[in-house]
Amino acid sequence: MKGLSKSGSFVEFGDFGMQALDRTWVTAQQIEACRVAITRFFSRKGQVWIRIFPDKPITKKPAETRMGKGKGGFDHYVATIRPGRILFEVSGVTRQEAQSALKLAAAKLPIRTKFVDRLETV
């Protein structure tokens, strides 16, 4: 996960976006929690784009299992995030509404993020 994001570091679809400042794994449940927070805040206004996809499967052995006996079973999916990656984009709302919605979504993530404008990233 070292280095900066190779792609997806510019706001391409919407007017405003949320950019990652740290590197981590973001689970599918965390992405869904962010999506729900943004769409509920907008209440049928605007449009939301999710720019990350959890495509990495994570395995885990059951609790209190002895060592050996192979790899654990599938547990959940994660998306690998590097600094500079745009996580979510929104459009069709004012700057203040977008900032408030993305701030709510950022509280659901385990990393620091910043609010970016389409003009700032180009």
Q: What is the pLDDT of residues 70-118, one digit of tens each?
A: 899 999 999 999 999 999 999 999 999 999 999 999 999 999 999 999 8
| pLDDT at residue 121 in the model | 60
Domain positions in the chain are 22-59+72-121
Query: Is the whole-model pTM more than 0.85?
Result: yes
% of the chain with per-residue pLDDT over 90: 79
CATH superfamily of 22-59+72-121: Ribosomal protein L16/L10 (3.90.1170.10)
Whether residue 1 has pLDDT greater than 90 = no
What is the four-CA torsion angle of 87, 91, 94, 100, rounded to 10 degrees? Answer: -30
